[in-house]
């Protein structure tokens, strides 16, 4: 006989309700979330527990067609936090946004280049010599956040409504969702993004202003 699930803390019920309202996790029930969270469900919302909930939802209990559908609907990208191959990041982006594929990448001496549908963006950064601080050179920027920010520039050029924003990731991993402005605003309000303020969020997403969207929550 299975043991009954513990009562869920009100803060979790509020979080799930707000995420469902903007279209994220709308299949998630309190029962399923409680099963994933365990004892954490009885305590106030914690960042690590939210990250685990997002991760588990997009795994879909090992049902890979369902997992792929959920990732495409939410534009979910999850990659290792360190030592990541930029090609793997683009592969995840392709899975998340198949309607815009193919995403292409190239590398020059000074830039990592991402291209889609005839538009391209060159990503580079300044590197300083370890012993000669004044000696700098421009090198390709293959960091995950740089690639996702560059992809947002391309989405803006194509007048795409959605942008990638980072959300809480499980230990050793980073996660992003490609969402409309109202969802991004809600994620920010709930403290589920790492950005210091909405200005940082807006800049990462290449929005002049964060659009209200049709399902705005505030």
Q: Where are the domains of the chain?
A: 10-205
Q: Alpha-carbon distance 175 to 79, whole Å?
A: 7
* pLDDT on residue 1: 43
Question: Tokens 């469902």 appear where?
Answer: 20
* pLDDT on residue 128: 72
Q: In terms of C-beta density within 10 A (0-12 exposed, 13-18 middle, 19 or more buried), how is residue 41 classed?
A: buried
User: Exposure pattern of 181-212 as b/e (b: 16+ CB <10 Å)?
Assistant: bbbbbbbbebebbbbeebeebbebbbbeebbe
User: Exposure pattern of 110-144 as b/e (b: 16+ CB <10 Å)?
Assistant: ebbbbebeeebbebbeeeeeeeeeeeeeeebbbeb
Residue 121 has pLDDT above 60, yes or no: yes
72 closest CA partner among 147, 188, 177: 177
* pLDDT on residue 131: 61
Q: Alpha-carbon distance 94 to 102, whole Å?
A: 7
149 closest CA partner among 77, 74, 218: 77
| pTM to 2 decimal places | 0.86
pLDDT in tens, 140-197: 899 999 999 999 999 999 888 899 999 999 989 999 999 999 899 889 989 999 888 8
pLDDT in tens, 168-179: 999 899 999 999
* pLDDT on residue 217: 36
């Amino acid at each position: 006989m299975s043991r009954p699930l513990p009562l869920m803390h009100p803060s979790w019920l509020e979080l799930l309700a707000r995420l469902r309202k903007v279209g994220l996790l709308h299949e998630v029930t309190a029962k399923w979330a409680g099963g994933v969270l365990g004892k954490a469900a009885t305590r106030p919302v914690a960042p690590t527990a939210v990250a685990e909930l997002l991760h588990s939802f997009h795994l879909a209990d090992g049902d890979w067609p369902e997992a792929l559908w959920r990732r495409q609907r939410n534009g979910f990208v999850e990659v290792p936090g360190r030592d990541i191959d930029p090609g793997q990041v683009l592969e995840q982006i392709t899975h998340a946004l198949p309607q815009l594929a193919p995403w292409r990448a190239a590398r020059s001496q000074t830039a990592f280049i991402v291209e889609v549908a005839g538009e391209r963006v060159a990503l580079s950064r300044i590197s300083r010599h370890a012993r000669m601080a004044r000696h700098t050179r421009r090198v390709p920027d293959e960091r995950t956040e740089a690639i996702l920010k560059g992809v947002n520039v391309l989405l803006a050029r194509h007048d795409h409504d959605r942008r990638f924003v980072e959300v809480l990731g499980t230990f050793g991993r980073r996660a992003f969702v490609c969402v409309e402005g109202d969802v991004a605003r809600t994620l920010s309000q709930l403290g589920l993004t790492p950005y210091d303020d909405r200005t940082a969020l807006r800049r990462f997403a290449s929005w002049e202003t964060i659009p209200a969207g049709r399902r705005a929550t505030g």
